[in-house]
Amino acid sequence: MNEIKTSHPPSLRIFFATEMWERYGFYVVQTLLAIYLTQHFHWNDSDIYALVGSFTALTYVSPVIGGWIADHLLGQKRTIIAGGVILLISYLILGLVASDNILISCLAGIAVGTGLFKPNISSLLGNEYPENSPRRESGFTVFYMGITSGIIFGCTIPSHLNNYFGWSVSFTSAAVGMVLGLLVFIFGIYRYQINDYSKYEYQFKKIIQASVAVICLWLASFYILNYTMLANFAFIAIVVFSTGYFLYSIKQDSVFEARKTMVIGLLCITSVIFWTFYFQMFLSFTLFLSRVVDPALFGIEFPPPYYVSIQSFGAIILGLLLARRKNPSVNVQPGIKSANKFLYAMFFITCAFILILSVCRFSAGSYLLSPLFFIPVYLMISLAELLLYPVGLSAITVLSSRKKVSTMMGVFFVSLGVGGFLAGKVADLAAISPGETSIRVLKTHYALAFSQITYLLIACLFVCIFLNRVIKYLLTDAPEESISYAGLENG
């Protein structure tokens, strides 16, 4: 760890701890939501997949607005604090009141708070590194380990709290985590003099504009979560808007900047495809595990959220290994290397789906399946995520111009959001008929459903291979000045 301390800015530990506690709170809700809707509200599968898919999508689409508010109105630091306060309030209400309308109101608040918080914490970290720093990507990998630490806590502690004290205590613990995250971040601002990308100038008009934007975002989120048709329309509009923004940026940029923007756009397409299947962990996989997999491992309780903690633990171990790699001495086009890592991520998640499909197909009978079959699946997903998510965060901070880095970070999170929304549509292939409890019938159903999902994933893998070749074509003849940002991939 000495190498990391001496090679990275000391403020990295603040970003690590802040994001760890923010992710703890979010994953308390994310991992328990489908089970909560099944057991407490008794919703059917299709409605659960629609709500969880839309909620997941909103938490990654809202960063576009959060990034814009930071870039143009409040600055990154104040936007992060505002997002944290909104998350804190939403978690508290969710823990105290249980009704359909309150639930959706709180989920809308969580989507808004996450949108304000998430793109700007990543942007601030990127600003702590010199433009050509060879340690940037490994720094984001360490940062990602903070994320996964929070996920592990958020997937294990709340399950025990729920067993002993009920749902309300589990959700209230998310608020406690957010308090800790805010305290760490505020301390870090003053201790390490963390700066925004641009100097903040107080203007009351901008505060009003930011408040109106936040209220409008909450209202839009509330109605999108309530109405499926509105959600479909909204996410089509988001895709059109994001595409238009890329085209506008490419038209305004120089040839060199336009190529980098095009690479970001193609990486985002691969990202959409990846997250569509990755988010099955919180949708079809969660209900599948709760229905046909033994809830104990070696006599120890092993509920569905534990598999996500296994995935996150694997990411931490792999992240440590990747972060401690020695830097290559030869400069390499970062866009090409990022594209290769994205493609490797698609390959590993495809292998994970093939494995879970194989288990389903060759396990007839009315007995519950062993958790041991599925732990390797989640470890492969952890490797896939590690090859895509931190690489994508790092790529955005380097490939984007400083004037629009937070907005571009928000656009990258849109790719996660669109993937989350599509994940809900894909998961509907695995929806079961209400009241079905036969283990044998459920196994047969899930084998067929996961066959369809896996074939779709394999087709998407070939699309990603094509996108990888397009990126290589764009960057092979890039101007020599493009080598100046080659530090991206040296982590």
Q: How does pLDDT run across 231-247, given as a tens digit for each residue?
A: 888 888 888 888 888 88
What is the predicted pLDDT for the residue at 327? 56
- Cα 348 → chain centroid: 17
Question: Which band of pLDDT confidence, cut at 50, 70 and 90, is reported for residue 472?
Answer: confident
Lowest mean pLDDT among 178-192, 195-209, 279-293, 299-313: 195-209
Model confidence pLDDT, tens digit, residues 383-439:
999 889 888 877 777 777 666 776 777 788 788 889 999 999 999 999 988 877 888
Type of residue at 460: C
Reference 70, options 399, 415, 403, 401; nearest CA is: 403
Model confidence pLDDT, tens digit, residues 48-61:
999 999 998 898 88
The pLDDT of 200-228, averaged and rounded, is 90
In angstroms, the CA 454 to CA 192 distance is: 47
Reference 118, options 63, 65, 81, 74; nearest CA is: 63
Question: Which band of pLDDT confidence, cut at 50, 70 and 90, is reported for residue 300?
Answer: confident
- Cα 458 → chain centroid: 22
Residue 339, burial from CB neighbour count under 10 angstroms (0-12, 13-18, 19+):
buried
Question: Which band of pLDDT confidence, cut at 50, 70 and 90, is reported for residue 80?
Answer: very high
Kindly report the CATH number assigned to the domain that includes residue 256: 1.20.1250.20
What is the predicted pLDDT for the residue at 481? 47
Model confidence pLDDT, tens digit, residues 399-415:
776 667 767 777 887 88
pLDDT at 166 over 60: yes
176 Cβ partners below 8 Å, 6+ apart? none
Residue 77, burial from CB neighbour count under 10 angstroms (0-12, 13-18, 19+):
buried
Give the predicted TM-score (pTM) of the model.
0.81
Per DSSP, 198 falls in state S
What is the predicted pLDDT for the residue at 323? 63
Domain that holds residue 477: 2-490
Decide: helix, strand or coil at residue 432. coil
pLDDT at 22 over 90: yes
Across 106-110, 166-170, 311-315, 325-329, the highest mean pLDDT is recorded for: 106-110
In angstroms, the CA 56 to CA 29 distance is: 10
Query: Percent of the chain at pLDDT above 70?
Result: 91
Question: Which band of pLDDT confidence, cut at 50, 70 and 90, is reported for residue 326?
Answer: low
What is the predicted pLDDT for the residue at 354? 95
pLDDT at 453 over 90: yes
Query: Percent of the chain at pLDDT above 90?
Result: 38
Handedness of CA 301, 306, 309, 313 (dihedral sign): positive
What is the predicted pLDDT for the residue at 201? 75
Structure tokens at 404: 């629009």
Question: Which band of pLDDT confidence, cut at 50, 70 and 90, is reported for residue 377?
Answer: very high
Q: Considering the chain, what is the average pLDDT of its residues?
A: 85
In angstroms, the CA 94 to CA 377 distance is: 32
* Residues 14-44 as b or e (16 or more Cβ within 10 Å = b): bbbbbbbbbbbbbbbbbbbbbbbbbeeeebe
In angstroms, the CA 10 to CA 73 distance is: 28
What is the predicted pLDDT for the residue at 402? 66
In angstroms, the CA 429 to CA 406 distance is: 36
pLDDT at 484 over 90: no
Name which residue leads in pLDDT, 200 or 251.
251
The pairs formed by 11-15 with CB atoms below 8 angstroms and a separation of 24 or more are 11/125, 11/128, 11/188, 11/192, 11/194, 12/125, 12/128, 12/139, 12/142, 12/143, 14/184, 14/185, 14/187, 14/188, 14/191, 14/192, 14/194, 15/121, 15/124, 15/125, 15/128, 15/143, 15/146, 15/188
* Residues 245-283 as b or e (16 or more Cβ within 10 Å = b): bbeebbeeeeeeeebbbbbbbbbbbbbbbbbbbbbbbbb
What is the predicted pLDDT for the residue at 429? 93
Largest CA distance in the chain: 67
Structure tokens at 93: 């209400």
Name which residue leads in pLDDT, 217 or 62.
217
Model confidence pLDDT, tens digit, residues 104-132:
999 999 999 999 998 888 778 877 777 66
Looking at the DSSP assignment, which residues form a beta bridge with residue 301?
A: 296
Reference 422, options 236, 225, 218; nearest CA is: 236
In angstroms, the CA 105 to CA 100 distance is: 9
pLDDT at 188 over 70: yes
pLDDT at 467 over 90: yes
Q: Can you list the positions of beta strands (E) in 299-342?
A: 300-301
State how many domains the chain has.
1
Question: Which band of pLDDT confidence, cut at 50, 70 and 90, is reported for residue 489?
Answer: very low
Reference 415, options 279, 315, 267; nearest CA is: 267
Question: Which band of pLDDT confidence, cut at 50, 70 and 90, is reported for residue 249?
Answer: confident
What is the predicted pLDDT for the residue at 174? 93
Question: Which band of pLDDT confidence, cut at 50, 70 and 90, is reported for residue 488?
Answer: very low
What is the predicted pLDDT for the residue at 309? 86
In angstroms, the CA 186 to CA 194 distance is: 10
